[in-house]
Amino acid sequence: MKAQLEHPADEIKRLQRCINDLVSLLALPAMWSGSRPNDIVQTLLDSLLRMLDLDFVYVGLTNLVDAAPSETVRVAHSQGQMFRPREVCTFLNRWLGDDPQKHYLQERSHIADEEVSLVSWPLGVQREIGVIVAGSRRADFPRDTEALLLGIAANQALTGLQQARLLAEQKRVADELDQRVAQRTAELAAANEVLRKEVAERRRAEDALKRGEAFLAEGQRLSRTGSFSWRVVTGEITWSEELYRIFEFDRDVPVTLEMISSRVHPEDIPLLNEMIDRARGNGSDCEYEHRLQMSNHSVKYVHMVGHGRRDREGRLVYIGAAQDVTERRLSEETLGKVRSELAPRG
């Protein structure tokens, strides 16, 4: 016997509610922007409990950067005495099992002497980040629309949690980079003369630098700082990828002093030539700031620091770094104008 069709008005209301729920789910990533995983989970639980009229909903997270694995259960207010979160977690851990290949489960089971329909949805192809489980005493749970909403919610949560994990990893890398830069700066300031004499130590440092090349490249991108070397006798110049990005040069084109001069602001060419002549003359350390004029006529400010040393053959080599400080300079100029306007006149 065929199931009785819904009344058109009821079907329209159900479809309208489904559309409204879909819109709410699609809006969740915007709400989660910059949120921590726990905040994402709490919002997700509230949304699913309301949309699907569940007795309880569970989220287990396993693979996070800045937090330990966690389990969270939200029980409907009307079922608070029937389903206790600890009992639900204990049961679901057994029910889900440890096999990530069983990424989707659906069955009718018993929790706390209550018969419940359970549906799980993975967060990741093989539950790499975690899993969502929805529970309802209704025998017909989940209906097609409910399964659709649960699947979309899981996909949205996966996206939000992956973004949160990426932000946490980027913050960890940035913090570690800041610590390494601060430590390295202190070491160089205190042991500069010792490092000049200890060639073996320098070689170990150079080897460590090569091993950390990928990490350094990411750090340079985050801090907008590029590194370079210049062999004065041969004119050979080596740039990091970030320095190519700052100067907006093609990565495949070898860098020359003429190319650099073509990018330097015309008013700062004399300063550049003076620093080059001084470096060629005595090999002393140098530090200065100049402007770049890009192909679209925009202007950048670059702060450069160079350290001269001799290689094993006694030839002069400069090692240094250049940082894009445009935002800082523009902020300083704006602050100076504001102070000037606010200063007492007369």
Per-residue pLDDT of 218-238, as tens digits, reads 766 777 888 999 998 899 999
- Ranking 68-77, 168-177, 189-198 by mean pLDDT, the lowest is 189-198
Least confident of 19-28, 104-113, 148-157, 257-266: 19-28
How far is 12 from 9, CA to CA, in rounded Å?
5
Query: Which residues, in sequence order, are CB contacts of 277 under 8 Å at separation 6+?
Result: none
pLDDT at 219: 66
Q: Which of 4-18, 88-102, 226-240 has the lowest mean pLDDT?
A: 4-18
Residue pLDDT, tens place only, 302-333: 999 999 888 888 899 999 999 999 998 888 88
Q: How many CA atoms lie within 13 A of 228 on its CB side?
A: 30
Residue 29, preceding peptide bond in cis (omega within 30° of 0): no
Distances (CA, A) of 71 to 59, 147, 150, 314: 6, 22, 18, 63
Task: Give the pLDDT mean for 294-308.
Answer: 92
* pLDDT band (50, 70, 90) for residue 3: very low
- Mention every residue, 6+ apart, whose C-beta is less than 8 A from residue 163: 29, 32, 33
pLDDT tens digits along 195-213: 567 767 667 667 766 766 6
pLDDT of residue 220: 66
Inform me whether the pLDDT recorded for 118 exceeds 80: yes
Which among 109, 104, 50, 61 is positioned nearest to 83, based on CA atoms?
109
Print burial letters for 248-287: b (CB count within 10 Å at least 16), e (below 16).
Answer: ebeeeeebeeeebeebbbeebeeebeebbeebeeebeebe
Backbone angles phi, psi at 169, to 5 degrees: -65, -40
Nearest in space to 141 (alpha carbons), one of 111, 120, 113 = 120
pTM over 0.85: no
pLDDT for position 26:
73
- Residues 191-196 have a mean pLDDT of 66
Confidence of residue 2 (pLDDT cuts 50, 70, 90): very low
Q: Among 235, 240, 260, which Cα is nearest to 251's? A: 240
Strands (E), the chain: 56-61, 70-75, 106-111, 114-123, 130-136, 225-231, 237-239, 286-293, 299-310, 316-324
Q: Give the list of residues 6+ apart from residue 45 with CB closer than 8 angstroms, or none.
A: 57, 59, 72, 74
The CA distance from 191 to 188, in Å, is 5
Range of 56-70, 86-100, 127-141, 331-345 with top mean pLDDT: 127-141
Question: What are the φ and ψ backbone dihedral angles of 196, each rounded to 5 degrees?
Answer: -65, -35
Q: Strand pairing partners for 122?
A: 131
Quick one: 325 exposed, middle or buried, by C-beta within 10 A (0-12, 13-18, 19+)?
middle
Least confident of 96-100, 170-174, 224-228, 310-314: 96-100
**Which 8-state DSSP code applies to residue 327?**
H
Q: Which carries the bigger pLDDT value, residue 119 or residue 8?
A: 119
**Mean pLDDT value across the chain:** 82
pLDDT value for 80: 57
Three-state SS for 248-309 is: CCCCCCCCCHHHHHHHECHHHHHHHHHHHHHHHHHCCCEEEEEEEECCCCCEEEEEEEEEEE
Partners of 114 in the beta sheet? Answer: 111
82 within 8 A of 112, measured Cβ to Cβ: yes
Please tell me the distance from the alpha carbon of residue 75 to that of residue 330, in angstroms, as a whole number: 53
The angle formed by the CA atoms of residues 311, 317 and 322, to the nearest 5 degrees, is: 140
Q: Specify the amino acid at residue 323.
A: Q
